[in-house]
Chains A and B, each alone.
Chain A
Amino acid sequence: MNPGNYLVLSGLLFAIGAVGVLVRRNAIVVFMCVELMLNAVNLSLVTFSRIQGNLEGQVIAFFVMVVAAAEVVIGLAIILTIFRTRRSASVDDVNLLKY
C-alpha cells in the first residue's frame, strides 16, 4: 500500500488535534487533543521510517511515547489542582490574568 496515505492520515489526525486544542473548553479534552497531535506525529515518523528504509524514525517514536507519558503526569497534576480550587476544568473559567 502507498505509504503516502499514512502521511495524509497523520496530517489529518494532527489537524484534528490542533483544531481540538483551539475550540474545546475542557482542559482535559484540550490535553487529550495535544496527545492526539503527538500520536499523529508518531504515525508519520513510522511511515517515514518505512519510506526512508532505516529504523531511526521508529526509535524516535519510542522517545516520543516516553516524553508524552511524562507530560501526562505533569499536565494532570496541574489540571487537578486547578479543578480542586475552582470545581471546574473549563479553560474559559481561568481568566484572572488578562490584558
Chain B
Amino acid sequence: MSAAPVVLAASSATTVAPIQTPHVEYSSISPLLIVLGLAFAGILVEAFAASEARRRIQPVLAFAGFAAAFIAVVLLHSRRATLVSGALAIDGPTLFLEGTILLFGLFAVLLVAERRLDSSGGAIVASASVTPGAAGSTAMQTSKEVQTEAYPLLAFSVSGMLMFVASNNLLVMFVALEILSLPLYLLAGLARRRRLLSQEAAMKYFLLGAFSSAFFLYGLAMIYGYAGTVRLGAIADAAGSASANDTYLYLGMGLLAVGFFFKIGAAPFHSWTPDVYQGSPTPVTAFMAAATKVAAFGGLLRVFYVAFGGLRWDWRPVIWGVAILTMAIGAVLALTQRDIKRMLAYSAIAHAGFLLVGLAAANTDGLSGSMFYLVTYGFTTIAAFAVVSLVRTGDGEASDLSQWQGLGRTSPWLAGIFAFLLLALAGIPLTSGFTGKFAVFQSAIEGDATPLVVIALVCSAIAAFFYVRVIVLMFFSDPPADGPVVVTRPSLTYATVGVGALVTLLLGVAPQPLLDLASHAAASGFVR
C-alpha cells in the first residue's frame, strides 16, 4: 500500500501559503476567559499577598469571578455559533450547562471558604506537604493557616469544565478533560482531617483518571484514523458516508465511551467513586459530585448526539447495558454502606445510571430531560454534602452512620433538611428529584425505552430504601451519650444548604420555568 504523499508547507518554499490565523470571537468565549483570568489572578495573589491577606482575598475573588462569568453566560443566552475555527461551539446546551457549572462553582467557593467548622476552621489543610504523623502535624489541624491554592485550583477546574461542554473537537475535549481533572486530583488530597485517607483518595483518583484518559485518547486516535479529522461535525459526515474502515470507528467510539463512563462514574468504571468521595475534603466532594458530573455528561451528550448521532442504533444497546448495570450496582451496594459519604457516593453512581436513561432515549426530550436532571441532582447533592460537613465529632466529620443516630432529636432543623434532601435524592414527589426523574423517564418512554424505565423504577425503589434508612436512624432512635456536635453558626454553609434545599423544593413544586429553559436550550440542538 502506498501512502498518500505528505506535502510539508516548509519544503516547497515557492508555494508557501500564508497561515490563516483563526478569528477569535472574544466576547463569545468571555465566560471561559473570565474564569481562566480569575485562576491566573489567584496564582498572582498566592505569590504576592501575605498569608493573612490571602485567606481574605481568595474567596472574594473566586466568588466574584464565578459570578461575573455566570452573568456573561446569561448575556450570551441567544448566541448560536461555532468559534475559533470550529474548535468551540456555543449553543443552547453549552450555555445551559456552563451556567449550571458556574452556579455549582459558586457554592463550592462558599463551602471551601467556611471557617467555622471546628476549632481548626475550614475543611482545607493548613499545609499539604507536611507529613501526617510528623512533628507539628497535630498542631496543623488547629492552625489558622490554610492552603489557599485551593481557590485557583477550583477556578482552573471550572475553566476546564466550561471548555469541556463547549468543545466541538475531540482534541479540545481531551485538553479540557485534563484541565478539569488535574486540579481535582490535587484538591482531593487537601483534607484537613484524616490526611491519610485524603492522600489515598488523591492517588487512586489520579492513577485511575490518567488510565482512563489514555483510553479516551486512544479512542481519539482511532476516530482520527477513521475520519481524518477530530471535528465532531466532520466525524458525523464521515460516519454517514460509510466508505472508510468501520473497525476504527467502532473501536474509537468504544474507547471514547470508556473515558466518559469513567468521568461520570458509570459501572463498570465506577470503582474510584466511593473511595475518592469518601477521602476528599467534603466541599471538594460536593463540587466533584455536582459539577464534574454536569461537565462529563455535557461532553458525553455532545459527542454521542453530534459525532455519533447517525449511529444511534449501534450505541443505544451499549448505553442500555451500562445504564442498567450502573443503576443496579449503585442502588444495591449503597444498601451495604456504613459511611455516610460512601453511601452518597454510591447514590451518585445510581444517579449516573438514571442520567444514562436520558441518553438512551436519544431524542430532544432526552437531552432537555438530562440537562434538567443534572441541575436538580447537583443542587440537592451539594446541599446534602454541606450538611454532612456540619455534623462533627472530635476528630472531624461524623462519617459513620451509627453516629447519626438520634440527630433528629438533638438538632431537628438540620436533620429535617437532610431528610428532605435524601427524599429528593430518592425521587419523592414535591421534590426536584421527582420532577427530574419524571422528565428523564418520560423522554425514555417516548424514545421506545420502556423496559429500561421499568428497570430504572425498580432501582429507584431499592435506592429509596437506604435513604429512608438514614431518616429512620435520625428520627426514630435515641441519640448516643457521646454523639456528634453540630457546628454553630456556619453562615456560608447554612447559605449553601438553604439555597440548595430551597431550589430542591421549588423545582419540585414549580419546575416549569426551568423545564422550559432546558427544552428551549435543547430545541435548537447542538451546532456543528
Q: A56-B224, A60-B220 are in contact. Are A50 and B275 (CB under 8 A)?
A: no
CB atoms of B178 and A70 under 8 A apart: yes
4 additional A-B residue pairs with CB within 8 Å, beyond A4-B1, A75-B210:
A52-B228, A53-B228, A64-B217, A75-B206
List chain A residues, Cβ under 8 A from B3: 3, 50-51, 53
- Is B502 located at the chain interface by the 8 A CB criterion? no
Bound complex: CA A94 to CA B186 (Å)? 17
Q: A50-B6, A53-B3, A53-B6 are in contact. Are A27 and B221 (CB under 8 A)?
A: no
Give the shortest distance, in Å, between A99 (CB) and chain B (any CB): 8
Interface string of A1-33 (1 = CB under 8 A from B): 011100100000010011001000001001100
CB atoms of A97 and B203 under 8 A apart: no
Bound complex: CA A73 to CA B409 (Å)? 49
Q: Which residue of B lies closest to A36 (CB)?
A: B214
List chain A residues, Cβ under 8 A from B186: 74, 77-78
CB atoms of A91 and B207 under 8 A apart: yes
CB atoms of A52 and B224 under 8 A apart: yes
Lowest 5 CB-CB distances: which A-B pairs, in order? A53-B4, A48-B225, A37-B214, A52-B228, A97-B275
- Is B476 located at the chain interface by the 8 A CB criterion? no
Interface string of A80-94 (1 = CB under 8 A from B): 011011000001001
- Is B129 located at the chain interface by the 8 A CB criterion? yes
Bound complex: CA A45 to CA B170 (Å)? 13
Q: Which residue of A lies closest to B184 (CB)?
A: A74
Give the shortest distance, in Å, between B55 (CB) and chain A (any CB): 23
A31, A75, A97, most chain B CB atoms within 10 A: A97
A2, A27, A70, A99, most chain B CB atoms within 10 A: A99
- Is B196 located at the chain interface by the 8 A CB criterion? yes
Give the shortest distance, in Å, between B472 (CB) and chain A (any CB): 22
List chain B residues, Cβ under 8 A from A4: 1
- Is B131 located at the chain interface by the 8 A CB criterion? yes
Bound complex: CA A38 to CA B4 (Å)? 26
CB atoms of B185 and A97 under 8 A apart: no
CB atoms of B203 and A79 under 8 A apart: yes
Q: A70-B182, A74-B185 are in contact. Are A14 and B218 (CB under 8 A)?
A: yes
- Is B414 located at the chain interface by the 8 A CB criterion? no
List chain A residues, Cβ under 8 A from B217: 38, 41, 64
- Is B278 located at the chain interface by the 8 A CB criterion? yes
Q: Which residue of B lies closest to A17 (CB)?
A: B214
Bound complex: CA A50 to CA B210 (Å)? 27
Q: Which residue of B lies closest to A94 (CB)?
A: B200
Q: Which residue of B lies closest to A61 (CB)?
A: B221
- Is B105 located at the chain interface by the 8 A CB criterion? no
Number of contacting residues on A, CB 8 A?
50
Q: Which one of A48, A50, A54, A71 lies within 8 Å of B182 (CB-CB)?
A: A71
CB atoms of A63 and B210 under 8 A apart: no
Q: Which one of B133, B202, B211, B275 lies within 8 Å of A78 (CB-CB)?
A: B202
Chain B residues within 8 Å of A, Cβ to Cβ: 1, 3-6, 8, 128-129, 131-133, 171, 174-175, 178, 182, 185-186, 189, 195-197, 199-204, 206-207, 210-211, 214, 217-218, 220-222, 224-225, 228-230, 274-275, 278-279, 336
CB atoms of B207 and A30 under 8 A apart: yes
Q: Which residue of A lies closest to B207 (CB)?
A: A30
List chain B residues, Cβ under 8 A from A34: 207, 210-211, 214
List chain A residues, Cβ under 8 A from B210: 31, 34, 71, 75
Q: A85-B196, A94-B204 are in contact. Are A44 and B225 (CB under 8 A)?
A: yes
CB atoms of A67 and B214 under 8 A apart: no
CB atoms of A98 and B221 under 8 A apart: no
B1, B5, B175, B214, most chain A CB atoms within 10 A: B214
26 contacts between A and B (CB under 8 A): A2-B1, A4-B1, A18-B214, A37-B218, A41-B218, A41-B220, A44-B221, A45-B221, A53-B6, A56-B229, A60-B220, A63-B171, A70-B182, A75-B206, A78-B189, A78-B203, A78-B206, A81-B189, A81-B199, A82-B200, A82-B202, A85-B133, A85-B199, A91-B203, A94-B200, A97-B200
Bound complex: CA A47 to CA B1 (Å)? 13
List chain A residues, Cβ under 8 A from B220: 41, 60
CB atoms of A97 and B224 under 8 A apart: no
Give the shortest distance, in Å, between B76 (CB) and chain A (any CB): 27
List chain B residues, Cβ under 8 A from A17: 214
List chain A residues, Cβ under 8 A from B8: 55
CB atoms of B178 and A67 under 8 A apart: yes
Bound complex: CA A7 to CA B252 (Å)? 14
Q: Which residue of A lies closest to B7 (CB)?
A: A53
List chain B residues, Cβ under 8 A from A75: 185, 206-207, 210
Give the shortest distance, in Å, between A24 (CB) and chain B (any CB): 11
Q: Which one of A40, A67, A78 lies within 8 Å of B185 (CB-CB)?
A: A78
